[in-house]
Amino acid sequence: MDDRYDFVLVGAGSAGCVLANRLSENPKVRVLLCEAGPPDRARQIHIPAALTTLFRSDVDWAYFTEPQEQLADRRVFWPRGKTLGGSSSINAMVWARGMRADYDEWAALAGPDWAYDAVLPYFRRAEDTRGRRSAHTGRGGPITVSGQRSPRSLTEAYLAAAEQAGLSRNVVPNADDQDGVMPTMVTQRRGRRWSAADGYLRPARRRDNLAVLCGATVSRVVIEHARAVGVEYLTDGHRTVVRAEREVILAGGAINSPQLLMLSGIGPVAQLRGHGLPLVYDAADVGRNLRDHVVAGFIVDAPGGGTLDEAGSIRQLAAYLLLRRGMLTSNVMEACGFIRSRPSLAAPDLELLFAPAGMVGEGLRPPRPHAVTLGAILLRPRSTGCITLRSANHADPPIIDPGYLRDPDGADYAALAEGLRMCMRIAEQPALAGLLGDIVQPTGDDGPDPVDSAIRHYAQTLYHPVGTCRMGSDADSVVDPHLRVRGVQALRVVDASVMPQIIRGHTHAPTVMLAERAADLLRREHRLGV
């Protein structure tokens, strides 16, 4: 294996796979992609409904937060992908870009090149949208985006009930206007998960100028004279240093990228010195600005059937293997919707979800049989948290404190509670009469108010941490609008950690968009015409 490349990429997730493909399109450019986890060969990765079986497996970093005061001092489980494709190989496959207002806010924070109209071509470049499309969705791109292959009948009943509760069903997914409910669009091809590794990395691995190294945990960026010149990584206990002639690019996500910057001497000076790390650049905002989507919901009995209870049966396995149809094609979150907690809001601040399965125990326990989940997601949290080092040892997971519902005026709690009240209204509509029964989680033992109990005792992450290496036009931002790390040359971050504000959607799609745009920036700056 060579010890010198033009570009060294750290992390083979949504962004890393895109960059590996786009940069290696030029046959003269040598690219190394380092991934800490194993290849994406596990069968469960590719079977959509098996996603929770991947939690706490060898393809999951399996993080836990610090105790969250507003959530009854619980530690919240944060699964993150640790394999080719990263979290796109273990997520719920929802392709929801966010809204015009999100990217126009990015433009205000990080320059006009991040406005909605400027980033729209990069979404379209990435997408191969099947089924119902808007004028703005893409065709022919690496990521297949399709409708549900075999949705449950209960999902249609939920959508009808939501309409009866006053919500629109006349919504085209990923169009400009997202107010209302819809079946979720998913990253699947013929009922099989279609990850960033499937769409971007696998076709590129045929190229001689791209090397992909699995089981390689990067422990630090090698910096000489304020310039990133390579990385140090470990494989099977052996340390190796590989050089980057042009740039090192971190694509480890909102937890691992700030941790690696700090381990490399880039971060808050007091924290680095407290762990005995040499200071390269005092970047106070590394690890700060952490935002995440918190979700709370109700588990409701479904005596009328129509759930995913039989997904593991031989009959359903045969339907999947032979026809790529049936329950195993479900992404579990089969319907979603965007609503406003207050009519005066300029854009939705809540997302609704429906799963024809009783999802309990943060996905770490088997679903409750004969039950469904109705949930609400806080899309625009005011509360922020941080990632800090636990120690100077790269093998120690960082300290994760998302600060859920910690805003001083209680607006986050109030909005999430309003979303749960909408869930209850939907469950009471005629379209679900006879299909749903009683709420079985939370129980009366959790407290007298089911809305409060659902939040305090059962709220969890929707797996969308962002912002810990935020980009901006201001001098305090971690990366500039071209995603270059301030204070160090030849070092860039390209992943969800650079998002200056969380989006009203799911983070896989915007992360792919970020990487597509970063690839263009790199090609222009390094004159890499293909």
| Residue-level pLDDT, tens digit, the chain, 530 residues | 578 999 999 999 999 999 999 999 999 999 999 999 999 999 999 999 999 999 999 999 999 999 999 999 999 999 999 999 999 999 999 999 999 999 999 999 999 999 999 999 999 999 999 976 677 889 999 999 999 999 999 999 999 999 999 999 999 889 888 999 999 999 999 999 999 999 999 999 999 999 999 999 999 999 999 999 999 999 998 999 999 999 999 999 999 999 999 999 999 999 999 999 999 999 999 999 999 999 999 999 999 899 999 999 999 999 999 999 999 999 999 999 999 999 999 999 999 999 999 999 999 999 999 999 999 999 999 999 999 999 999 999 999 999 999 999 999 999 999 999 999 999 999 999 999 999 999 999 999 999 999 999 999 999 999 999 999 999 999 999 999 999 999 999 999 999 999 999 999 999 999 999 999 999 999 999 75
> Both 128 and 193 in a single domain?
yes
Residues 230-258 have pLDDT tens digits of 999 999 989 999 999 999 999 999 999 99
Give the burial class of 239: count Cβ atoms within 10 A of its Cβ; 0-12 exposed, 13-18 middle, 19 or more buried: exposed
Is 349 inside any structural domain? yes
In sequence order, the 6+-apart residues with CB closer than 8 A to the CB of 426 are 158, 161, 162, 165, 167, 352, 374, 432
> Both 263 and 329 in a single domain?
no
Is 248 inside any structural domain? yes
pTM of the model: 0.98
> Both 212 and 308 in a single domain?
no
Catalytic: which of 464, 506, 508, 526? 464
Is 464 in the active site? yes
Is 482 inside any structural domain? yes
> Both 107 and 233 in a single domain?
yes
Residues 133-186 have pLDDT tens digits of 677 889 999 999 999 999 999 999 999 999 999 999 999 889 888 999 999 999
> Both 200 and 347 in a single domain?
no
DSSP string, 451-486: HHHHHHHH-EE-S--B-TT-B-SSTTSSB-TT-BBT
Task: Name the strand (E) or helix (H) holding 296.
Answer: strand 294-301
Which value, to the nearest 10 degrees, does the dihedral of the CA atoms of residues 182, 99, 504, 197 take?
A: 80
Q: What is the CATH number of the domain that holds 21?
A: 3.50.50.60
> Both 166 and 123 in a single domain?
no
Is 269 inside any structural domain? yes
> Both 200 and 94 in a single domain?
yes
> Both 454 and 332 in a single domain?
yes
> Both 178 and 314 in a single domain?
yes
Task: Please give the angle made by the CA atoms of 423, 87 and 260, to the nearest 5 degrees.
Answer: 120
- When divided into structural domains, the chain yields a total of 2
In sequence order, the 6+-apart residues with CB closer than 8 A to the CB of 157 are 306, 431, 432, 435
| Domain that residue 362 falls in | 149-183+294-380+406-458
Is 275 inside any structural domain? yes
> Both 154 and 274 in a single domain?
no
CA distances from 510 to 95, 151, 429, 497, 503 (A): 9, 26, 35, 11, 8
> Both 237 and 352 in a single domain?
no
Q: What is the CATH number of the domain that holds 451?
A: 3.30.410.40
Is 91 inside any structural domain? yes
> Both 57 and 174 in a single domain?
no
Is 401 inside any structural domain? no
